[in-house]
Amino acid sequence: MVPPQPQRISPVLASSSGTLAGPPLAPEQLMTLEQAIAFAILLCTIVLFIWGRLPYDLIALVALFAGIVTGIVPPSKAFEGFANEVVIIIAAALVISAAIARSGVVETLMRPILPRLRTVQMQVPVLVATVTLLSMFTKNVGALAILMPVALQLARRTGTSPSCLLMPMAFGSLLGGIVTLVGTSPNILIAEVRAQTLGKPFSLFDFTPVGLSIAVMGVGFLSFGYRVLPGGRKGAPSIDAAFTIEDYTTEARLSPQSPAAGRTVAELEALGDGDVTVAAIIRERFRRYPPRPDSRLREDDVVLLQGEPENLERLVARARLNLAGGGPEPGDVSVVEGVVTADSAVVGHTPAQLDLRRRYNLTLLAVSRSGEVISRRLGTVRLRAGDVLVLRGASEAVPERLGELRILPLAERSITLGRSRRGWLPAAVLLVAMAWVAVGKAPVAVAFFGAAVVLLLFRVMTMEEAYETIEWHLLILLGALIPLSHAVRDTGGTALIAGWLSSVVQSVPPVAALATILVVTMIITPFLHNAPTVLVIGPIAASLAAKLNLNPDPFLMAVALGAGCDFLTPIGHQCNTLVMGPGGYRFGDYWRLGMPLSILVVLIGVPLIALIWKLSPPS
């Protein structure tokens, strides 16, 4: 008698009624060779992810190559992942988030309430609620990056430990991200999984009923739960902290539109939150006046300001001052720090004598001289060896010009002085794009791609700055794993696993099966990263729903929720990693606050998903 051959399992297909249907599977059924190869590659990929010695994107590329070589990924479909809408949406969302961060809109809106936040009991709820709200409309990691400097500055001014603020904010950004399609990568990816299995993706606000309820609950918990975190921790120094440069001096003129005209020096310094001081007031070109706190400023006054570049930029933007070097030049510009060497051609000369702008296409924005107070106009300051300069010029010409002048560029750090483009345009463009999607005029990918293009056309940021904001490693990771995920599905692998799972959970209530998918996803995500978790578990969850004759939508929602709510480790999501150093956190600190929050998400999320999305299949 010839032994029965293992049958090839067909992929799960969408039925005409909109529910998933597939061939019945028995637990003892053997897998085919193609399925074994797909699972072997997937298992090796997971092991390498957990091992952590190789970059995630490199592991994904190796896995894709292995799939092509073994034949489970057809060469004609090998690179379809890089053309997937998911990649476009994430790249565009990152650019839009960066543009909003540079615009200073959030900082402007929060400025009236920041002075009132004097205690940690007031700071945590406001900051967590703000980052949660912002994460609903921009990429959550971008929203956190926007508000982290605000939180650190507030902590420094009030004596609050950053460890009390930053982890709750990181968790708040994750909670906000689950509310809309574009808030977090798992939502974008699960919409793609639904499109592959049911023929139609989730829409922009399909996640809102469940996500908003959980976000509100989470903000309430974090407003009190931060007390379990260790207080008094000092954050690890950032690259900016490695610089021991004393305050810079920059020169700015009061424009007719400046709100500082007619106000006192003290009021102008208050616009800089006390981090910038007025070193001198210059009128009638070269007449210097001592900057007493009650001195009145006039239109067209020139003020010499001292402070860190970031603080100077903030004051210049708020007071609508004009820097001595003028506004940003058209085209791609760089703002760099450089130290004047002993044999530099600028030693002993003033910027006016050197005619830096005409001869070298460089603009001097600020000077630092070992803590010395500079009370002369920058154009008349005789430069010395050891002076540190902030210079602006065309990106392609700056390295050559610095070499010609023998000015040694310092290690790169973010300098926004002289190139900030603040305004309400990025927020307006984002609102238009979301409205366009909400009324069904365009898919999410097209609307967000168009929004990013519009912002670049209006020079909100340069092309070089846009490229710097995109997380290329994440896009490569997704582009490589999407074809592999499709291969597991097309070989029948997801249906096979779903059959095994259905035999385990078929005797329990459907809500318990839903809870199982949510909990498994939350456990896997910290070790596998949220994007691969969705691409692996999403099709399995949809197939499991089909085997149990249930609606796949709540199961897909559970996968998105579980992958988006990674509160247990600093490595599963970029937001958690971003706050680890500045907050001075250790690996185990995330469990203190993350475990009770994760339990709340499960206890509230499962019944909410079941109530809103209905477990029974549509008739």
Sorting pLDDT into bands at 50, 70 and 90, what band is 221?
very high
CB 160 within 8 A of CB 118: no
Give the pLDDT confidence score for residue 14 in this predicted structure: 38
Sorting pLDDT into bands at 50, 70 and 90, what band is 28?
very low
- Does residue 408 have a pLDDT over 60? yes
pTM reported for the whole predicted model? 0.71
- Does residue 378 have a pLDDT over 90? no
| Structural element, H or E, at residue 303 | strand 302-307
Give the pLDDT confidence score for residue 21 in this predicted structure: 42
Cα separation, 204 vs 187, in Å, equals 9
Sorting pLDDT into bands at 50, 70 and 90, what band is 242?
very low
Give the amino acid at 493.
G
- Does residue 467 have a pLDDT over 80? yes
Give the pLDDT confidence score for residue 145 in this predicted structure: 80
Give the pLDDT confidence score for residue 9 in this predicted structure: 36
For residue 330, count CB atoms less than 10 angstroms from its CB and return exposed for 0-12, middle for 13-18, buried for 19 or more.
Answer: exposed
- Does residue 206 have a pLDDT over 70? yes
Three-state SS at 323: strand
- Does residue 611 have a pLDDT over 90? yes
Of the two residues 316 and 557, the one the predictor is more confident about is 557
Domains of the chain by start residue, with CATH: 86-236+441-472 (no CATH), 244-409 (3.30.70.1450)
For all residues of the chain together, what is the average pLDDT?
Answer: 83
Query: What is the share, in percent, of the chain residues with pLDDT greater than 70?
Result: 88
Three-state SS at 249: strand
Sorting pLDDT into bands at 50, 70 and 90, what band is 191?
very high
Q: Which residues contact 321 (CB under 8 A, 6 or more apart)?
A: 252, 253, 254, 255, 258, 260, 303, 315
Cα separation, 598 vs 604, in Å, equals 10
CB 475 within 8 A of CB 90: yes
Average of per-residue pLDDT across 52-71: 91
Report the candidate in 403, 344, 368, 133 with the shortest Cα–Cα distance to residue 244.
368
